[in-house]
Amino acid sequence: MTPRPLRVWPGIAAATVFVVSRFAVPVVLPDAGFAALLTSVVATAAILLWWLFFSRASWPDRLGGLALLIVAIVAFRPLLHVSIKGAGMGTLYYLMAVQLAALLLVLAVVASRAMASGTRRAVVATAIVAGVAFLAFIRTDGVTSTNLLGGLYHWRWTPTAEEQLLAAAPDVAAALAPPLATATSSVSEPQDAASLAPEPPRATAIEPHETPPADDATPAPAPIASSGPSPATPSPWPGFRGAARNGIVRGISVDTRWDVTPPTELWRRRVGPGWSSFAVGGGRLYTQEQRGDDEIVACYDVATGEPVWMHSDAVRFYESNGGAGPRATPTLAGGRVYAFGATGILNALDATTGARAWSRDVAADVDRDVPGWGFSSSPLVVDDLVIIAASGTLAAYDAATGEPRWRGPTEPGSYSSPHLLQSGGVDHVVLVTAAGALALRATDGVLLWRHEWESAGAPVVQPAVIDAGELLTTSSAMTGGIGLRRLTIAKTGEAWTAVERWTSNGLKPYFNDFVLHGGHAYGFDGNILSSIDLLDGHRNWKGGRYGNGQLVLLADQDLLLVVSEDGDLALVGATPAGYTEHARIPILNGKTWNHPVVVGDLLLVRNGEEMAAFRLPRANR
C-alpha cells in the first residue's frame, strides 16, 4: 500500500505564527514583546505536536527526529560561546535550539515531501542538527527592551567592543596605575554579623538637619577646576544622579532648535564595558569599567577625555543579559572617590592620584553572594560614613578608615542604591527591596520604619523624596515595573511609620529612573515615557518610545533630557499638558543604559562601548 503523503499545512501554519510573533510583532508593537515571546513558544510547541501526532510521518521518523534534537542539544552545549550558554539565566540556548530546529524541520519537510523516504530522512535530520549547531557559531551582546531573547547577535569570531579596546590599548591601565597603596591600606577580612549589627536605640541627642525643599536639586555649578577635586569644595555632580540622587539640574536653559544649533561634540573615547555613570569634580570625571580580567575605577580629564589614572582590581563580573563590568557609579566626597564593584569590592581612592586609602570586601563583610546582575549600589556618603547596599543589606563604613560602623538587617534582593531622606531632624537611609522599603538611621543603622510591598523581582530604580515627610517608592516583577506608591513618613512618640497614600500603575519604572517636577512625576512606563500627578497618581499622559533609556530634568526650562537605549539624545517637555518631543539626535553607538550627566552646559554620556562629551547650546545667547 502506498503511504499517505505527509500532512504539512498544520506545520506551515504554526511556523508562520512563530515567524510573525518572534520577528515581526516586536518591531511593530514593542510593548508586546513578552506576549510575542510566549506566542512563539506556543507556536514551537504546536510544531512539535504536529510532527509527533499529525504529520503522517512514520513513527520511527517522528521519534527519531525528536531523539536527534535532544542529542544535538546536549552535544553542542559544550561548544557554545559563554554569552549563549548563560543567556536568559541559562535557558536561552534550550529555547532557541528547539525553536530553530522546529522551524527548519517544517522547511525541510515541505522541501523534501516528494523525495524518496531515505533522502527525506537525511534532509530532515540535517535540518534539525543545523538548527542547533547554528547557535555554536554566534555570540550575543545581551538583551534589549524590544528583544527578550537577545537580538544583539554576532558571529562568535568577531571581536567584541571590549576586545577591540584591549587590542588598541593593551597596557593603558597598567601605565596609568596609581601609586602603590599606603601601609594602612587593606582589603578587609569578613566580619561576623554580631560585630556589624546596630546597637539598640540610645537616648542621645541628635542634631537637627535643615530640611531640603520639595524639588531639592543639583545647583548650578561653579566653574570646574582642572587639578582634581578639593576636599573643601563641593562637587558639581558628586555621583549617581547628582547631589540629591534625583536627576534634577538647575541653572541651564538650552536652545531647543537642534536642527539649527545642535549640541557640539567636544570629544569621544572608547571605554570598557559597564553600566556606571559619572561623578564629576575638579575638572575630572570618574567612572567604572571592565578591561579584560581587571575591574577599573577610572579618572579622565573632563576637557579632553584623556585618562588621568586607573585603579585596577583583578576581578571580572559577567552575565550574559547585561554583559561584563561594574554597574555602580563612583561617589566623590572629601577629596576621595568611593567606588563599589560588581563583585563586592568597595574602594576608597585619592581623587587626585588614585592612590588607595582603603578597600573592603563588602560581600564577605555582610555575607551576601554576588547577585545575578552583580552588585549595583552606588555609595552614599553621609557625614563621616560611606553607606552601601549589598543586594538587600545596608552596611556603613568609616569614610576615613574603612572600619565597619554598622550593618542593617538582611533583606530580600535589591539593585537599588541607598537614598537619603531627612525628616524630623533625622537622616533616614532608605532602601527599596523585593520586600518593600525600609529606612535605617544613618548614625547607627537602627531600623526606623519598614513598609511592605512584596514583588517577584528585585527593584532597580531609586525612590524619590517629595518633601521631608513624603516618599515615592517602586516595586517590580520579573518582567517589568509594577508601579509607584506614595508613602507618608511620620513619627508618633518614639515610633516611625510609613503609610501608603496611593498606589499608581500609570508610571511603572523598571530600571529607568524617574524625576519629580512641579507636582508631577516623569519617567518610563515600560519603554514609553509617562507622567502622573503626585496628588493622586493619576496619569497625565503617555507617549514616546526610548527603550530602556535614562533621563535627567532641566528644571529651569521644564524639559526632560532623555538618552534612549539606542543612543539618541532627545528633549521632551516636562509638563502635565501632554507628550511633546522638541528635538532628537543620535549621539552614541550601541546599547545605552547608563545615566547621563549635565554640569553647566556640559553633557557627559556613555555606554558599554564609548563615552562622549557635548556642549549643549544655551538659549538666548
Give the pLDDT score at 192.
42
Q: β-pairing, 248-249 with 550-554?
A: parallel
* Separation of alpha carbons 80 and 18, rounded Å: 24
User: What DSSP string runs through 131-171?
Assistant: HHHGGGGEEE---BTTBTT---EEETTSPPHHHHHHHHSTT
CA-nearest of 9, 22, 149 to 87 is 149
Give the pLDDT score at 134.
96
Residue 353, phi then psi, degrees to nearest 5: -105, -20
Give the pLDDT score at 621.
56
Beta strands in 305-455 (DSSP E): 307-313, 318-319, 323-324, 331-333, 336-340, 345-350, 356-361, 380-382, 385-390, 393-398, 404-407, 419-423, 426-433, 436-441, 447-452
Give the pLDDT score at 164.
94
Question: 30, 148 in Cβ contact below 8 A?
Answer: no
Question: What is the CB neighbour count within 10 angstroms for residue 615?
Answer: 13
The grid coordinates of residue 103 equal 522551524
Give the pLDDT score at 2.
56
Matching residue, cell 545647583:
219
Give the pLDDT score at 607.
97
What global pTM score does this model have? 0.89
Give the pLDDT score at 561.
98
Walk along the chain (621 residues) in steps of 10 and give the mean pLDDT of each run. Answer: 79 94 78 81 95 94 95 96 86 92 95 90 96 95 70 89 92 85 45 41 30 40 57 86 96 96 98 98 97 97 97 96 95 97 98 97 96 96 97 96 97 94 94 95 97 88 92 83 93 93 94 94 93 97 93 97 96 98 96 97 97 95 56
Give the pLDDT score at 389.
97
Give the pLDDT score at 476.
83
Matching residue, cell 507636582:
519
What digits encode the pLDDT tens for the residues 68-127?
Answer: 999 999 999 999 999 999 887 788 899 999 999 999 999 999 999 889 989 999 999 999
Give the pLDDT score at 113.
87
* 3-class DSSP state of 225: coil
Beta strands in 172-263 (DSSP E): 248-249
* Separation of alpha carbons 100 and 73, rounded Å: 11
Question: 419, 387 in Cβ contact below 8 A?
Answer: no
Instruction: Report helix angle 9-19 to 33-49, nearest 10.
Output: 160
* 3-class DSSP state of 621: coil
Give the pLDDT score at 148.
55
Give the pLDDT score at 219.
43
Give the pLDDT score at 585.
97
The grid coordinates of residue 395 equal 552596611
Instruction: Quote helix, strand, coil % in the chain, to nearest 5.
Output: 25, 35, 45
CA-nearest of 471, 496, 468 to 484 is 471
Question: 236, 279 in Cβ contact below 8 A?
Answer: no
User: Quick one: residue 483, left, alpha or beta (phi over 0 = left, psi -120 to 50 = alpha)?
Assistant: left
372 to 88, 375, 448, 461: CA distances (angstroms) = 11, 9, 29, 17
> Please, what are the domains in the chain?
9-158 (no CATH), 168-193+212-615 (2.130.10.10)
The grid coordinates of residue 619 equal 538659549
The set of residues, in sequence order, having a beta carbon less than 8 Å from that of 582 and lying 6+ positions away, is 256, 559, 571, 572, 573
The set of residues, in sequence order, having a beta carbon less than 8 Å from that of 404 and lying 6+ positions away, is 188, 191, 195, 196, 360, 365, 395, 396, 397, 398
